[in-house]
């Protein structure tokens, strides 16, 4: 897999920080019984919805990462298969139709895309093939299976017995044979055989790949997969990644289904047991990538590895019914929800939740997709009769002005029920001392017969929050607890940011409260937030009503367009770069007068950044933002 031309390294997040929910260290994972199935479903649904907020409807993917998008979409497919909730089927089809053609390098991937979801990165192609098989399983639509076959044929061209006796090359340049590409290949070929009546070709390929895999030397004496082979066709002793181990489990399981060979099922157990031994890939019972350890840095690839392991551990737990594997899954899911979740219901990269100022936990859509796989795996295979969930929309920033500030939040209440026709849900809102909250005491949801297959029925309820004028700066938690018959209960939370100053590094957790619309933008370690191609991002500054003037200082580089406006819809060009600069050599501070845009009663001003030369993929990158303002 290849990252895009910019290294989208971590220690950044595009949402509210995990205040109060990510401490420097944690005790052992929570003990106790498996999460009630109704609550497990509610958690998975909320997490899936949070993930899909980052889906770029225009480009039909998740911003800035091609292979990660495939894995995230397969995770959504897993969610739909497991729950019966089919709300996101159109998104999968939209991605299929929108992105099956060729694309130049930099538009959807750092690499050129040849069409049919193939590129020089052979493992990237494999992830898309597995995603389209999941979509075929969801829909029965032959076009998805045909696409998986097309990708499989493409990958087969890179099976090469002349080097190391076999195996699929990792890349088009044929520089490396590794665990991920070959684990994918076995799983993919076996899945194709199991779905194509009368097939023998894919089964032969799968058997040959499995035999080569076992004898390749990548499997060490502890039953763990090192990353790949040296040029001398020996185990390179490289890191053991959770996704490689997960693919080993998944490959053995799917080939077992194809052949009914009991040794394959035992091999799947062996790979799982080797990984789950304390000190192997788990720490105090929690699956841990080596990059999760405090002091290490993760990257956009590593963020999704553990979710791939959980996908195939779920398969093993379902297949064997072994309580040991179900208990491992339950422990991951409970720990994620209780220790690795921020106030916006984002799930982080460290499932045990550890975080320090020097080595913070990381929250983005990749970490969300990965942790979601654990929540999905915790759901019973035979479905859930009923569940209740609730979520609060992210609140706008409040900049106090001597009087209480009233804001309205949307509470989404969702119910699934296989039996009840009408469900009455009671609501109770809570906030900090001295804050006033108002909402309906009860909402009633009708569940038609057509919605008794796992699809949630939902209602949006307004929640009015009165923020006191003396509320201190910081993030203040507001929550609404929803309860329904049969012991159903779920608490929705959000954080309301109170701020009297505007001064932040772009692309870090500090810019999140001001980010009105991410617009497909990305972040870098520099730090910074950038907008390439037709992506953009918008910051909103909600000045106090008494504001009479405001001045913004913006540090920006590369090929930028900067627009200002009073409403987020009408814009005036404030800055533009007329040269195709790609090395940030034009990085500089620019001072902009915001006073002309303080037109409305609410005194909001919006700043939009986009790409001056969208065809080459080096759009504007903002590094720092600060604002000074005067009030009467």
What is the distance between the alpha carbons of residues 31 and 35, in angstroms, rounded to a whole number? 11
Q: 617 vs 562, which has greater pLDDT?
A: 562
> First-to-last CA distance in the chain?
56
| Least confident interval from 18-22, 276-280, 302-306, 496-500 | 18-22
With 0-12 CB in 10 A as exposed, 13-18 as middle and 19+ as buried, what is 629?
buried
Please tell me the distance from the alpha carbon of residue 469 to that of residue 189, in angstroms, as a whole number. Answer: 63
Query: What is the reported pLDDT for 19?
Result: 33
Neighbours of 631 (CB within 10 A): 15
502-553 pLDDT tens trace: 999 998 878 889 999 988 788 777 789 999 888 899 999 999 989 999 999 9
- Mean per-residue pLDDT for 313-318? 98
Q: What is the DSSP string of 411-457?
A: EEEEEEESS-SEEEEEEEEE-STT-EEEE-SEEEEE--GGG-SSPPE
pLDDT band at 3 (very low <50, low <70, confident <90, very high): very low
Confidence of residue 420 (pLDDT cuts 50, 70, 90): confident
Mean pLDDT of the 420-430 span: 94
DSSP class of residue 472?
P
CATH number of 502-631: 2.60.120.260
What mean pLDDT do residues 360-377 have?
Answer: 95
Task: Tell me if the domain spanning 386-498 has CATH number 2.60.40.3880.
Answer: yes
563-583 mean pLDDT: 95
**Token digits for 39?**
């609550």
Cα 66-71-74 angle, rounded to 5 deg: 125
Tokens of 167: 């195996």
Rounded CA gap, 49 and 53, in Å? 6
522-545 as b/e, with b when 16 or more CB fall inside 10 Å?
bbbbbbbbbbbbbbbbbbbbbbbb
Q: Which residue has the higher pLDDT, 196 or 602?
A: 196
Query: Which CATH number among 1.50.10.20, 1.10.132.10, 3.40.640.10, 3.90.950.10 corresponds to the domain 37-377?
Result: 1.50.10.20
C-beta separation of 497 from 510 below 8 A = no
Could you read off the pLDDT of 27-54 as tens digits, one per residue? 334 433 446 899 999 999 999 999 999 9
Pinpoint the alpha helices (H) of 102-225: 122-139, 142-156, 179-195, 201-215
Which tens digits make up the pLDDT trace of 136-172? Answer: 999 999 999 999 999 999 999 999 999 999 999 999 9
- In sequence order, the 6+-apart residues with CB closer than 8 A to the CB of 579 are 559, 586
Instruction: Answer whether residue 18 shows pLDDT above 50.
Output: no
The pLDDT of residue 109 is: 85
Q: Of 152, 228, 154, 236, whose CA–CA distance to 191 is shortest? A: 152
Q: Are 469 and 418 in contact (CB under 8 A)?
A: no
Which tokens sit at 376? 């999905």
- The strand order across the sheet containing 457-467 reads 386-392, 405-417, 457-467, 436-439
**Would you say 294 and 359 are in contact if contact means Cβ atoms under 8 Å apart?**
yes
pLDDT at 221 over 50: yes
Averaged pLDDT score across all residues of the chain? 91
Q: Domain ranges in the chain?
A: 37-377, 386-498, 502-631
Query: Is residue 25 pLDDT above 60, yes or no?
Result: no
């Amino acid at each position: 897999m290849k990252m895009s031309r910019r290294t989208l390294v971590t220690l950044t997040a595009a949402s509210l920080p995990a205040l109060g929910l990510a401490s420097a260290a944690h005790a052992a994972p929570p003990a106790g019984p498996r999460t009630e199935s109704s609550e497990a479903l509610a958690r998975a649904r909320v997490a899936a919805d949070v993930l899909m907020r980052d889906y770029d409807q225009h480009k039909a993917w998740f911003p800035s990462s091609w292979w990660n998008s495939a894995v995230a979409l397969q995770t959504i497919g897993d969610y739909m298969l497991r729950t019966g909730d089919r709300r996101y089927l159109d998104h999968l089809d939209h991605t299929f139709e929108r992105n099956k053609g060729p694309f130049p390098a930099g538009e959807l991937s750092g690499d050129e895309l040849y069409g049919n979801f193939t590129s020089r990165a052979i493992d990237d192609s494999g992830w898309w093939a597995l995603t389209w098989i999941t979509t075929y399983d969801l829909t029965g639509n032959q076009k998805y299976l045909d696409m998986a076959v097309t990708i499989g044929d493409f990958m087969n061209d890179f099976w090469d017995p002349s080097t190391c006796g076999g195996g699929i090359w990792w890349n088009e340049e044929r520089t490396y044979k590794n665990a991920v590409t070959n684990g994918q290949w076995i799983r993919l070929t076996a899945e194709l055989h199991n779905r194509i009546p009368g097939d023998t070709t894919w089964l032969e390929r799968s058997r040959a790949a499995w035999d080569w895999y076992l004898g390749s030397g990548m499997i060490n004496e502890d039953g763990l997969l090192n990353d790949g082979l040296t040029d001398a066709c020996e185990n390179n002793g490289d890191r053991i990644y959770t996704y490689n181990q997960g693919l080993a489990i998944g490959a053995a399981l799917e080939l077992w289904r194809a052949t009914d060979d009991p040794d394959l099922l035992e091999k799947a157990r062996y790979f799982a047991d080797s990984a789950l031994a304390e000190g192997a890939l788990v720490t105090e019972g929690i699956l841990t990538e080596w990059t999760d350890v405090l002091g290490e840095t993760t990257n956009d690839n590593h963020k999704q590895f553990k979710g791939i392991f959980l996908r195939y551990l779920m398969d093993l737990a379902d297949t064997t019914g072994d309580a040991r594997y179900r208990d491992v899954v339950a422990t991951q899911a409970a720990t994620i929800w209780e220790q690795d979740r921020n106030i916006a219901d984002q799930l982080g990269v460290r499932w045990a939740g550890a975080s320090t100022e020097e080595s913070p936990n990381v929250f983005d859509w990749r970490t969300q997709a990965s942790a979601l796989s654990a929540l999905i795996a915790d759901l019973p295979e035979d479905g859930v009769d009923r569940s209740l969930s609730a979520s609060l929309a992210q609140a706008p920033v409040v900049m106090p002005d001597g009087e209480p500030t009233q804001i309205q939040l949307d509470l989404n209440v969702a119910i699934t029920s296989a039996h009840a026709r009408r469900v009455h849900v009671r609501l109770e809102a809570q906030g900090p001392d001295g804050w006033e909250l108002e909402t309906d005491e009860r909402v009633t949801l009708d569940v038609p017969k057509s919605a008794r297959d796992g699809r949630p029925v939902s209602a949006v309820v307004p929640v009015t929050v009165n923020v006191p004028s003396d509320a201190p700066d910081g993030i203040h938690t507001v929550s609404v607890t929803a309860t329904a018959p049969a012991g159903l209960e779920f608490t929705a939370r959000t954080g309301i940011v109170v701020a009297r100053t505007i001064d932040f590094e772009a692309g870090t957790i500090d810019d999140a409260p001001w980010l009105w619309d991410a617009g497909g933008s990305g972040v870098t370690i520099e730090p910074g937030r950038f907008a390439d191609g037709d992506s953009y991002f918008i910051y909103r500054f909600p000045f106090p009503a008494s504001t009479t003037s405001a001045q913004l200082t913006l540090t920006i580089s590369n090929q930028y367009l900067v627009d200002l406006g009073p409403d987020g819809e009408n814009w005036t060009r404030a800055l533009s770069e007329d040269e195709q600069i790609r090395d940030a050599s034009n990085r500089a501070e620019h001072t902009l007068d915001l006073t002309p845009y303080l037109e409305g009663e609410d005194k909001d001003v919006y700043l939009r950044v986009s790409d001056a030369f969208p065809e080459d993929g080096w759009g504007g990158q903002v590094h720092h933002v600060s604002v000074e303002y005067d009030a009467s």
